[in-house]
Chains A and B, each alone.
Chain A
Amino acid sequence: MAEIALAGICKTYVARRREVRALAPLDLTIRDGEFVTVLGPSGSGKTTLLSLIVGTIAPSGGRILVDGADVTYADLRARDMAMVFQNYALYPAKTVRGNLDFPLRMRGVARAERAPRVDAMARLLGLTELLDQYPRQLSGGQQQRVALGRALIRRPKLFLMDEPLSNLDAKLRLQMRTEIKRLHREVPVTTVYVTHDQIEAMSLSDRVVVMNQGHVVQVDTPEAIYNRPADLFVAGFVGAPAMNMFRVSLRSAGGGLVCRLDGGSAAASLRPHPPVAAGNGVLGIRPKHVEWQTQAGPVEPPWLGGVVREIDDTGDDRLIYADIGQEPVTILETRHRSVAVGEPIAIRFPEPSVHLFVDGRRVEAAPAPAPADTA
């Protein structure tokens, strides 16, 4: 176990005499025993980051420190890291026992000590019955467990996982997610976990590193990523169904800012801190925070008039797609109130739940008392 520090690490490829930046300079310290997830869409540089840490590619600049020791250009075996690959990379010619034993044998662990450690790891992962089978005889979930066991058996300083659950079906993925969580509790090795699945990132990590186009856009706890996304990208990427976003004009009124939709109706009154000048911004609100009610007559502020366009019932909850004028809005209905397509409804964005973005960046804003609407 160890603390990993990345100091200005970056990677630039040269392709056809043009420089392509795969990873912008990045500073990040991963604490001893911490579980850090690198989250981003494909092409965001997260696999580049992982390959740099593990040493399969050399960085263009910066340093990697493991417990203070510089391993930036160290040989793969000298780094004392272990990795679970997306395709598991089990050794096909070896049994499960042979796969688990290999890292110990390579590190010169005595034969008498190896067998009990293999047995203990097999017990921990429920592989005892399968020790004499070959990888091709195992199911996807079992192969995954062997890969986890092989990586963890010699207690590496750093444990890396590259989209380990992406080859499993949905049910097994949930099961293995829980398994990985349990494993990390029982064997608390410093872990870097790469994924494009925000649910995995939210449920597994102590901290999430969100990446986009080679840049780290936010490093925070899962709660903070979800509740205070740093910019429009994080806001849109994290959370399913995705956050509703509206272009708004910001006009100061009564010590606060009134956010008006393109149609002109006031959607929220906020008091940004630090204050921002009047202008344009983006208003975000998660589908579960949107309030609505059926509406027969005219709509009174702060309510906005809308029409139900589509209803998506998933069993557990219901998604209502509505339009406020030209603007589409998604509402997560958890109370099982029913509504029909085409029915008019009144919609409200409660100020404590809205997010304000100016120039793409998040602006902290408190609710402001609504001034008299003059529109």
Chain B
Amino acid sequence: MSGRRWIRAIPAKIALAFYLLFALVPFAWMATASLEPQTALYRRHVSYLPNPFTLANYAALLRANPIAGTDFPRYFLNSLIVVCCTVVLSLLIAVPAAYGFSRYRFIGKSTLLYGILLQSLFPLVNFLIPLYIVMQELGLLDTYPSLIIAYLTFSMPLNIWILKSFFDGIPVDMEMSARLDGAGSFRAFVEIAIPPAVPGIVATAIFTFILAWDEYLYALTMISNSAMRTLPLGIFAYFSEGVPNWSGLTATAIAMSIPVIVVFLVLQKYFIAALSKGALKY
């Protein structure tokens, strides 16, 4: 029985294997390139393993290079600050907002809810110039808040919608019971409604993290001071010379993906729980 099922799954497995190959080969190529000197890229024969092997590209990342105008540690720190603030602020606002939308009836509720959705239906570019002008007026260009605010404008609507559906799936009886037991409505929210929503909250945190970590367009618009660059901007510094610094570029790209992988591996249990029982499956 299980043997036959295994055989029936073979075509699907082959298709998935091809897809995996398709997705991973460029990444593997990049990893290989980051582990060999730049000159090795221009050889005639193909080598699938780094040859000669070197960690020099990664070692070079650890300190700023004033001549080339790159400063990986600085970019990394900038990215980390912007992204962490975005994630924390987004959740601090989206979790209570989603709970309110899920549990309470108030005038203008659906207008607000669909207004939020409408905003996220427009291309992000539409808001680029207005936001730039706002930041300019506020004197926030070239600061962390300019990016954090910009990222919140497009991460929050999605987060509110995802979390609202998540709260919708949690029986209201638990909070009613807590209220009868003597808890105030705020405590019923914090102590009773949030714990079962943790998978959903973690999933939205990961979404927001990846969204902000990869963001290029807004960073390019808001940031002109090289000391304030985030990682996606930093990568483009390698193109500024005549010949692109492929080794530095690939090493930076690999190093940049490590936090995303780490975050995902640590939290994947929650992420999968959210995908399998939460709002995201609809």
Interface positions of A (Cβ within 8 A of B) = 54, 56, 76-77, 79, 81-83, 85-87, 89-93, 102-103, 106-107, 150, 154
How does the 8 Å CB contact mask read for B184-196 relative to A, with 1 for contact and 0 for none?
Answer: 1001000110011
CA distance A54 to B173 in the complex (A): 12
> B192: which A residues are within 8 A, CB to CB?
91
Which residues of B have CB within 8 Å of A103?
A: 181-182
What's the least CB distance linking B185 to chain A, in Å?
A: 9
> In the complex, what residues of A have CB within 8 A of residue B181's CB?
77, 82, 102-103, 106-107, 150, 154
Q: Which among B179, B187, B195 is the interface contact of A93 at CB below 8 angstroms?
A: B195
Ordered by A's residue number, 11 sampled pairs between the chains whose C-beta atoms are within 8 Å are A77-B181, A82-B180, A83-B176, A86-B173, A87-B171, A91-B191, A92-B174, A93-B195, A93-B196, A106-B181, A154-B182
- Whether A92 pairs with B196 at a CB distance below 8 angstroms is yes
Q: Which 5 A-B pairs have the closest CB atoms?
A: A93-B195, A106-B182, A89-B173, A103-B181, A76-B179
* Interface majority SS (helix, strand, loop, mixed), chain B: helix
Name the distance in Å between B168's Cβ and chain A's nearest Cβ. Answer: 16
Point out the residues of chain B lying under 8 angstroms from A54, CB to CB.
176, 180
Given contacts A91-B192, A93-B196, A106-B187, contact A77 B179 (CB under 8 A): yes
A102 to B187, CA, bound (A): 11
Residue of B nearest to A83 (CB): B180
Let me know if B211 is at the binding interface, CB within 8 A.
no
Residue B178 is within 8 A (CB to CB) of chain A in the complex: yes
Interface residues of B (CB under 8 A from A): 171, 173-174, 176-184, 187, 191-192, 195-196
A56 to B176, Cβ gap below 8 A? yes
Please state if B173 and A87 are interface contacts (CB–CB under 8 Å).
yes
Q: Which of A76, A87, A90, A93 has the most CB of B within 10 A?
A: A76
**Which B residue's beta carbon lies closest to that of A153?**
B181
Which residues of chain A are near B174, meaning CB under 8 Å? 89-92
A90 to B170, CA, bound (A): 12
Contacts of A76 in B (CB 8 A): 176, 179-180
CB distance from A140 to the nearest CB of B (A): 16
CA distance A82 to B181 in the complex (A): 7
Interchain nearest-CB distance for A57 vs B (Å): 11
Of all chain B residues, which has the CB nearest A90? B174
Which residues of the other chain, A, contact B171 by a CB distance below 8 angstroms? 87, 89
Residue of A nearest to B182 (CB): A106
Whether A77 contacts B173 by the Cβ 8 Å rule is no
Given contacts A102-B183, A106-B181, could you give 19 more A-B pairs where the C-beta distance is less than 8 Å?
A: A76-B176, A76-B180, A77-B181, A79-B180, A83-B177, A85-B177, A86-B173, A87-B171, A89-B176, A89-B177, A91-B178, A92-B174, A102-B181, A106-B178, A106-B182, A106-B183, A107-B182, A150-B177, A154-B181
Q: How far is the CA of A354 from the CA of B184 in the complex (A)?
A: 55
Question: Which A residues lie within 8 Å of B180 (CB)?
Answer: 54, 76-77, 79, 81-83
User: A77 and B177: CB pair below 8 A?
Assistant: no
Q: Closest approach, in angstroms, between the C-beta of A147 and any C-beta of chain B? A: 8
B246 smallest CB distance to A (angstroms) = 50
CB distance from B43 to the nearest CB of A (A): 58
Cα–Cα distance between A54 and B177 once the two chains are bound (Å): 10
Q: How many angstroms from the CA of A56 to the CA of B183 in the assembled complex?
A: 14
Bound-state CA distance A106–B183 (Å) is 6
Flag if B173 contacts A85 (CB, 8 Å). yes
CA distance A91 to B176 in the complex (A): 11
* Residues of chain A with a CB closer than 8 A to B196's CB: 92-93
Residues of B within 8 A of A102 (CB): 178, 181, 183
A124 to nearest B CB, angstroms? 18
Q: A13 vs B16: C-alpha distance in the bound complex, in angstroms?
A: 54
Q: How far is the CB of B202 from chain A (nearest CB, A)?
A: 14
Q: In the assembled complex, how far is the CB of residue A243 from the closest CB belonging to chain B, in whole angstroms?
A: 36
A103–B179 alpha-carbon span in the complex (Å)? 9
B139 CB to nearest A CB, Å: 44
- Tell which of B171, B177, B180 has the most Cβ of chain A within 10 Å: B180
Chain B residues contacting A93 (CB-CB under 8 Å) are: 195-196
Which of B177, B179, B195, B196 counts the most A-chain CB atoms under 10 A from its CB? B177
CB distance from B177 to the nearest CB of A (A): 4
Query: Closest Cβ of chain B: how far from A109's Cβ, in Å?
Result: 10
Nearest B-chain residue to A102, judged by Cβ: B181
Complex contacts, A89 vs chain B, CB 8 Å: 171, 173-174, 176-177
Chain B residues positioned under 8 Å from A79 (CB to CB): 180
Cβ–Cβ < 8 Å partners of B179 in chain A: 76-77
Residues of A within 8 A of B187 (CB): 106
Q: Is the CB of B183 within 8 A of A85?
A: no
Listed residue (A83, A87, A106, A150) with the most chain B CB atoms within 10 angstroms of its CB: A106
Closest to B175 in A: A89
Give the CA-CA distance A85 to B178 in the complex, in Å. 12
> Chain B residue with minimal CB distance to A78?
B182
